[in-house]
Structure 1
Amino acid sequence: MDIKSERFAKLVCLQHEALCKGLIFNQLTLKSLQNHHNAGRWNFLKHMIPKKIKILRIEDYHTHYIGKFDSGKQFFGYEHFVSKPSINETEWQKNRHEYVVLYIFDKNGSLESFKYWYAGTTAELNCDTNKKLDELVKSLGKLRFCNIKVVPFQIEIDGITFGLIPKTDDDYERIELDPSSTIAFSEPWDGEYDT
């Protein structure tokens, strides 16, 4: 049994001693524990989303614009899009709205402020949103691109919810970067993400 499975099994045992007495730990796998959890037998396992998440910086990818500045404050810059439902699929560019957002966190990882720029719809775009994001990030002054660790949050811009938002389905707990759920963080919460 790997260490992760063993820790998970111990947690289950501590929380539900009566249920665990009959379990043989060397035959118990993480998968079988997750099956019990997913079936609703151990509802206490829900909400295991961490209070802070690590985000790995991956150059020239979704987390290119993250790091620290000003004595430990953290930042995360991102180009978001919001698609509104369209009757005519060929006109999607008129219904996709482009935003550039710079999230600023204190040194403990809590959202402190944010800056944003609305670029218009994709059809109206007459500038490089990546260049605008680069300008916003450079406005912070001396900075260092690196991994960050922040508290999930949500804000509203133009009536749209933005942020790193915890979400739980029956079989998948994650934190998604909204709007558009472009990237998602999940176990083992090591900073890597799915796209």
Structure 2
Amino acid sequence: MLKHWLSALFGARSEQSGAESLDAAFPPEVLVIPHDDHHGRFVGKLPNGEGVFITTPFTCGSKPQDSREFLALYRFSSAGDLLEARIESLGSRADLVGARNAAALPGNVAADNPTVQSRIEVWLRQLPGLVLGDIVAKPFRVHQHGLDFGLIPDSQEDCEADEAFDPVYVTLLPGNYMAFMAPWDGSYDT
């Protein structure tokens, strides 16, 4: 019923950025990760058609030294299958930007950090021929550094015991800084 309602509301989308069929089904078989000036700055395709997404996941702790920052490179087949998840720990937020700044800054602080930017540049040099642009990816989950990373669909486990399960998002975790939604065309909440 929900699938029918979402399909009627959003309609089906045909080929976009290599996606065979983008529609409102949940979880989606494939979704678009857009190249943009915000969280999708390092999204593109290699000459062989593989998709690449370099991003900066994070966790939030009650104290800046408990918050952790990461750098992730995800590589996908042209059909959106995960081929590689290279995830480096950058340490605590306090280590990265100093305790005073870490206490004041919400959200993702690694993205504009000069140390992180130089590491991203190293990774970009290892990807000759990368052309920035939208890519497709299938939801995935990998466990590294004691955490789940990936494009993870909403699940009943995310709800409180008394909450109704209403799946809406496939969320980039950890950090919940890109929450993709139907019709899976690259639209996301931050």
Normalising by structure 2, we get a TM-score of 0.70
How many percent identity over aligned positions?
28
Contact 2:43–2:133 under 8 Å retained in 1 = yes
Which of 45, 51, 55 lines up with 1:68 in the alignment? 45
Which of 155, 160, 170 lines up with 2:142 in the alignment? 155
Deviations 1:42-98 (A, max 9, x none): xxxx96221000122112x101111101410111110111123x3xxxxx2201111
Contact 2:58–2:69 under 8 Å retained in 1 = yes
- Code of the aligned partner of 1:132: R
| Alignment partner, residue 53 of structure 1 | 31
Contact 1:168–1:174 under 8 Å retained in 2 = no
How many pairs align?
Answer: 150
Mapped pair 1:132 → 2:106: no
- Code of the aligned partner of 1:71: N
Deviations 1:11-65 (A, max 9, x none): 7xxxxxxxxxxxxxxxxx85xxxxxxxxxxxxxxx96221000122112x10111
Which stretch shifts more, 165-174 or 100-109?
165-174
Contact 2:78–2:136 under 8 Å retained in 1 = no
Deviations 1:135-161 (A, max 9, x none): 213311111000011111010111100
Q: Which runs of 5+ in 2 are unaligned?
A: 10-23, 98-113, 157-164
Report 1:1-195 matches (<5 A). Answer: 8=4, 30=9, 48-59=26-37, 61-84=38-61, 86=62, 92-125=63-96, 128-168=115-155, 170-195=165-190
Secondary structure at the residue paired with 2:183?
coil
Offset of 1:128 from its aligned partner?
2.1
What is the distance in 1 between the residues matched to 2:57 and 2:139? 17
What is the distance in 1 between the residues matched to 2:120 and 2:28? 28
What is the distance in 2 between the residues matched to 1:53 and 1:108? 10
Contact 1:53–1:149 under 8 Å retained in 2 = yes
RMSD, aligned CA: 2.5
Contact 2:56–2:69 under 8 Å retained in 1 = yes
Secondary structure at the residue paired with 1:128?
helix
Contact 2:58–2:70 under 8 Å retained in 1 = yes
Secondary structure at the residue paired with 1:112?
strand
Normalising by structure 1, we get a TM-score of 0.69
Contact 1:79–1:133 under 8 Å retained in 2 = no
Choose between structure 1 and 2: higher helix proportion.
Answer: 1
User: Kindly tell me: are residues 166 and 68 of structure 1, through their superposed partners in 2, closer, same or farther at Cα, counting changes over 3 Å?
Assistant: same
